[in-house]
Structure 1
Amino acid sequence: MSLDFLEFAMTERTIPVDAFGPIALDLTMKAGTIRVVVDPALKQAHVVLKTEATSGPSADAIRDTAVSLRGQNLKVRVPDVAGGMGGSTTISVGGNTTTFSGGSGVQIVNGNVHVTGHGGGKVFINGREVTATGPAGDAVTPITAVVHLPARSETLISTHTADTVIKGELARLEYDGTSGSLTAERVGDLDATVTSGSVIVGDVTGALDVNLTSGNLGIGAYSGRDARLNLTSGNVRIAATPQATGRLVVSATSGCARITGASHLNIRRRVTSGYVQIS
């Protein structure tokens, strides 16, 4: 077996969808990378899962991913390769987050990091386990999900830390993320719950419903109907267009929202120790 083959060996699984036309995808994947491509010329959706390992927990997770299709509804559940989170505490400072969960704990003494826990005290950098002698044989390598969807498809994405990028236009996007980032070009309805994460969308043309905690939301052009924003220690920047209609309801607690081009909307606001500017 050549070294070149070893270098590019990986695990890859393609999930075909036995349905024509737009679908509603429900994807749960706690970590890694998610790429969604909406192609108007595509007739059938398909999902590709891959990782840079042929064995170990990430490869097993891809093989064990549960898939179900009912009509036009596709559900994909990628197992958590890092194990259950259990109880956890997340600290966010200046846009950076640190999460402590399970185990015994982490100590930083004189610049040295000491990790102890029931799992033996392991260190992961970008999803890869690192030991005193180098990468472990059964390292947790990052998983990438590449989703190809026909036009007018809808997506529900649930994740903890995965970075998500959406190319093209979705009819509807529901997003539930913790400490992850979402970048999307254009969506109809947007329903997002964000904790210590970031959501950046170019255009929103439908209903907007966002719950934001210690995160960031940016919308380049909002031309939809009825918007509801609930933020706690978060930051919001939205540019509404003359095509936007209906209500704009903003509730802020220790958060900051700047919304421009929205003076023609039916505005309702409730602010507690926060800052809301609507013009």
Structure 2
Amino acid sequence: MTEHTIPVDVIGPIALDLAMNAGSIRVAVDPTLKQAQVVLKTNATSGPSADAIRDTAVSLNGQNLRVRVPDAAGGVSGSTTIRMGGSTMTFSGGSGVQIVGGNVYVSGNGGGKVFINGREVTATGPAGDAVTPITAEVHLPARSVALISTHSADTVITGTLARLEYDGTSGSLVADRVGDLDVTATSGSVIVNEVTGPLDANLTSGNLGIGAYSGHAARLNLTSGNVRMAATAQATGRLTVSATSGCARITGTSHLNVRRRVTSGYVQIS
């Protein structure tokens, strides 16, 4: 395993700016924590993923922490990911897989190599290195904010973030509780249990679910995606919904100032 702990030599809440295109991101907000902790890890001890961790760019300016994890050489970009029953299959680079009579045939630009747990499997035994997933484990003090940019990483946030800006493509975000939420998602999935502040969401062929919205201003811009949201009695102000060939179902809005614009989409607001 390769592991790198990023030093955060400040006390109290921070503003985290994290860019990591693939892998998994785990953020936990702990009210008892005095100092942020950030750890990058991967199962491989060498190879492209280990190199990417070692080449990560980090800067700390006051309470602002900026982390840039480079793409692992040979990693999957421009890929298609299929998720079924908690498992994933990713296809990229023009390769192909066939399963015939219990046998697996692999072909592709890389010569049809097979990797298991980051090691190449050959007729004579394991050899070589491959891209293994990188995990970012982040622990933040209360009142911290985060900006997360990713392509396909799965992001899970537990606890309460004061503000979250999320920009994702084909990845997924699951969060407990957020104050201010600013989301840009393309063909991904975003689920937030509770939003207590302003909400700004731009969705393209993805899915957005807000369990309980109690902020004072919300704007939802939807293009061929799906939105489900429930406003609470504590929500106030304006709710603006723009939908183009998308579907939005929003409840609990009778006391809000609702503005809608629909182009060949379906919007149900009650």
Indicate the TM-score class for this superposition, using the shorter chain for normalisation: 0.7 to 0.9
CA distance 1:83–1:28, shift in 2 (3 Å): farther
| Structure 2 spans left out of the alignment, 5+ residues | none
Q: Is the 8 A contact 1:216 1:236 kept in 2?
A: yes
Query: Residues 194-217 of structure 1, C-alpha deviation per residue, up to 9 Å, x if partnerless?
Result: 111111101100010111111111
| Cα distance change of structure 1 residues 210 and 59 upon mapping to structure 2, 3 Å threshold | same
Unaligned runs of 5+ in 1: 1-9
| Of 66, 88, 92, the match for 1:75 | 66
Inter-partner Cα distance in structure 1 for 2:264 and 2:79: 24
Alignment match of 1:156 (pick from 147, 151, 164)? 147
User: What secondary structure, in the 3-state scheme, does the structure 2 residue paired with 1:61 have?
Assistant: helix
1:116 to 108, 113, 120: 108
Counterpart position of 2:177: 186
Instruction: Rate the CA distance shift 1:92–1:165 in 2: closer, same or farther, 3 A.
Output: closer
Rounded to whole Å, the distance in 1 between the matches of 2:106 and 2:234 is 55
- 1:223 and 2:225 correspond: no
Match of 1:270?
261
Q: Deviations over 1:110-142 (max 9, x none)?
A: 97876433x5566678x9576565765212111
CA distance in 2, matches of 1:232, 1:113: 38
Look up the match of 1:7. Answer: none
**Contact 2:44–2:118 under 8 Å retained in 1:** no
Q: Which amino acid aligns with 1:21?
A: G
Instruction: Tell whether 2:134 aligns with 1:143.
Output: yes
Q: CA deviation at 1:263?
A: 1.8
Contact 1:92 1:214 in 2 (8 A): no
Judge conservation of contact 2:106–2:114 (CA < 8 Å) in 1: no
The residue aligned with 1:51 is 42
Tell me how far apart the structure 2 counterparts of residues 253 and 140 of structure 1 sit (CA, whole Å): 38
* Superposed CA offset, 1:134-175 (max 9, x none): 765212111111001010000001111111110100000001
Aligned CA-pair RMSD: 2.8
1:210 aligned to 178, 201, 215, which one?
Answer: 201
**8 Å CA contact retained: 1:214, 1:232:** yes
Letter aligned with residue 45 of structure 2: T
Pick from 48, 61, 72: which aligns with 2:52? 61
Contact 2:204 2:225 in 1 (8 A): yes
Letter in 2 for 1:79: P
Match of 2:32 in 1: 41
Aligned match of 1:27: 18
1:171 maps onto 2:174 in alignment: no
**Secondary structure of the structure 2 residue equivalent to 1:59:** helix
Q: Is the 8 A contact 1:115 1:123 kept in 2?
A: no
- CA–CA distance in 1 between the matches of 2:106 and 2:38? 39
Return the TM-score normalized by structure 1: 0.84
Q: 2:221 matched to 1:236?
A: no
Following TM superposition, by how much is the alpha carbon of 1:262 offset from its aligned partner in structure 2, in angstroms? 1.0
Distance 2:46 2:160 in 1: 36
> CA shift at 1:224, angstroms?
0.5
The number of residue pairs the alignment matches comes to 264
Identity of aligned residues (%): 76
Q: 1:273 offset after TM fit, Å?
A: 1.2
Report if aligned partners of 1:57, 1:139 keep a CA contact under 8 Å in 2. yes
Structure 2: which amino acid aligns with 1:238? M
Deviates more, 1:164-173 or 1:76-85: 76-85
